């Protein structure tokens, strides 16, 4: 039986995409936000930071013109001694988080399109959802495929995990979680060809394919909310593995409707650190990722090639900007490609410092398992965490256990010893 329901989405009010932060100085205890530098500094205006940059330090106070002749400026800001650091969670959410979202678009992802200028239309036929997005007189089309768990209905909607590239469906369906996939190549090809629904609308813009795939997740969610009443719009996960895990991370970053972000074996430009890149795997770096797949990111990231330690962010910054929403990261110790160890002992604990400080330390988890790159067992490994987020189900599995990697590399984030006191 064919069922069709068509609606239009004109705006995404809950979008997490950043807007410029304006410096305000008001009396009465109001929050002052540091002005974002305009234009954004080039790589040469940032100091070399061999350890993870301090996530509490605004860009305004990170550039070398703050050194005032000090020979220890870089060492000081890496140790959490920079001036103007964020002092409270309120300041984080009002000032620093929006700044991070904007700097990540400037330096890595490219600027996310203005969704208020888009019209989304969706039709459902059985388990297929057809999606059309129109902007500027152009239309891009793609489709998603739906698998519902037993018992899901409009009166009892199920949480959903949207994936690209495939996942382990059965355990999730058996747990009462819907699974939706869309063809990421029809949204944006994994190449420099600029083909697919996203580029039908936005060809010519300096935007990375990871952002295009993130856009695909978001427009799929729009379509599900319009046509699939058996799905709960307030319990939504996104996932993918390897380069698709990078895309899933971007999807979670740029849309506050995403309840849980689940990057799997994601590597550099995902949860793999730019610094400490050679701790395991094939040593995936900024340089070789830009050379091999430069289309994943915008052109500005390429200006940091051979200068990755000048980047004012790293993987932990991306993760921290997702808080207070949930994030679970999966890596296999036998992954021959991505830096699983660096993800587990550097990027994850660096991000968890921020989650803990914000009072949501239980919303971030690390799954370290045996097995290789994109091993499907990773989806079973993170399922208890997913069930905790979606259903409030208690789990005995410790998602702060780094397994055979043992302990965090605390020397990678010395600023953690100077976390702002609340």
> Could you report the per-residue pLDDT of 79-119, keeping only the tens digit for each?
999 999 999 999 999 999 999 999 999 999 999 999 999 99
Mean pLDDT of 270-284: 97
**pLDDT tops 70 at residue 343:** yes
Round to whole Å and give the CA distance between 322 and 416.
19
For the segment 139-167, what is each residue's pLDDT rounded down to a tens digit? 999 999 999 999 999 999 999 999 999 99
Among 51, 115, 218, 242, which one carries the catalytic annotation? 242
What are the residues facing 241 on neighbouring strands? 264
Backbone angles phi, psi at 222, to 5 degrees: -55, -50
pLDDT at 30: 86
What's the Cα-to-Cα distance from 248 to each of 14, 133, 215, rounded to whole Å? 18, 20, 10
Q: Which residue has the higher pLDDT, 368 or 18?
A: 368
Q: Is the dihedral of CA 262, 328, 15, 107 positive or negative?
A: negative
Mean pLDDT of 108-134: 98
What percent of the residues of the chain are helix, what percent strand, and what percent coil, each to the nearest 5? Answer: 35, 15, 45
pLDDT at 23: 38
pLDDT at 79: 98
**pLDDT tops 80 at residue 262:** yes
Long-range contacts of 361-364 (CB under 8 A, 24+ apart): 363/323, 363/324, 363/325, 363/326, 363/327, 363/389, 364/319, 364/323, 364/326, 364/327, 364/328
pLDDT at 361: 98
Mean pLDDT of 160-180: 98
Does the active-site annotation cover 373? yes
**pLDDT tops 70 at residue 11:** no
For the segment 14-39, what is each residue's pLDDT rounded down to a tens digit? 455 543 333 333 334 689 899 999 99
Mapping DSSP to helix (H, G, I), strand (E, B) and coil, where does residue 8 land? strand
Mean pLDDT of 44-62: 98
Round to whole Å and give the CA distance between 212 and 74.
35
Does the active-site annotation cover 150? no
pLDDT at 114: 98
pLDDT at 155: 98
**pLDDT tops 70 at residue 5:** no
Give the number of other CB atoms < 10 A from CB of residue 291.
11
**pLDDT tops 60 at residue 414:** yes
Q: What value does the mean pLDDT of the chain take?
A: 94
Mean pLDDT of 226-251: 98
Which of 30-34, 232-236, 286-290, 395-399 shows the lowest mean pLDDT across its residues? 30-34
Q: What is the CA radius of gyration of the chain?
A: 21
């Amino acid at each position: 039986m064919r069922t069709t329901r068509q609606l239009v989405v004109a705006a995404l009010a809950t979008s997490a995409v950043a807007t410029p932060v304006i410096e305000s100085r008001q009396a009465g205890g109001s929050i002052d936000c540091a002005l974002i530098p305009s234009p954004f500094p080039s790589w040469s205006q940032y100091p070399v930071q061999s350890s993870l940059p301090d996530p509490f330090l605004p860009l305004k106070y990170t550039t070398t013109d703050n050194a005032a002749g000090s020979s220890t400026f870089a060492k000081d800001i890496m140790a959490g001694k920079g001036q103007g650091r964020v002092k409270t969670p309120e300041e984080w959410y009002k000032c620093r988080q929006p700044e991070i979202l904007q700097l990540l678009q400037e330096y890595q992802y490219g600027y996310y399109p203005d969704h208020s200028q888009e019209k989304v239309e969706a039709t459902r036929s059985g388990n297929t959802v057809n999606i059309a997005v129109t902007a500027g007189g152009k239309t891009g089309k793609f489709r998603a495929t739906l698998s519902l768990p037993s018992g899901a209905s409009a009166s009892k909607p199920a949480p959903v995990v949207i994936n690209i590239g495939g996942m382990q469906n059965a355990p999730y369906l058996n747990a009462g979680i819907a699974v939706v996939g869309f063809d990421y190549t029809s949204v944006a090809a994994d190449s420099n060809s600029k083909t697919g629904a996203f580029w039908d609308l936005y060809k010519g813009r300096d935007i990375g394919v990871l952002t295009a795939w993130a856009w695909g997740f978001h427009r799929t969610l729009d379509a599900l909310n319009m046509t699939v009443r058996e799905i709960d719009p307030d319990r939504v996960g996104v996932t993918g593995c390897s380069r698709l895990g990078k895309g899933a991370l971007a999807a979670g970053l740029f849309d506050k409707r995403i309840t849980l972000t689940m990057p799997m074996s994601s590597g550099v430009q995902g949860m793999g650190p730019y610094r400490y890149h050679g701790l395991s795997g094939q040593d995936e770096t900024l340089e070789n990722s830009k050379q091999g797949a430069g289309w994943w990111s915008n052109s500005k990231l390429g200006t940091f090639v051979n200068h990755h330690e000048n980047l004012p962010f790293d993987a932990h910054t991306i993760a921290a900007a997702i808080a207070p929403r949930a994030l679970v990261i999966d890596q296999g110790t036998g992954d021959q490609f991505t830096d699983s160890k660096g993800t587990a002992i550097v990027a994850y604990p660096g991000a968890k410092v921020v989650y803990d400080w914000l009072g949501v330390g239980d919303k971030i988890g690390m799954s370290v398992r045996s097995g290789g790159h994109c091993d499907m067992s990773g989806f079973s490994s993170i399922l208890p965490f997913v069930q905790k987020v979606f259903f409030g189900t208690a789990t005995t599995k410790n998602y702060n256990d780094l397994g055979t990697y043992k302990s965090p590399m605390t020397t990678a984030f010395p600023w953690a010893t100077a976390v702002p006191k609340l």
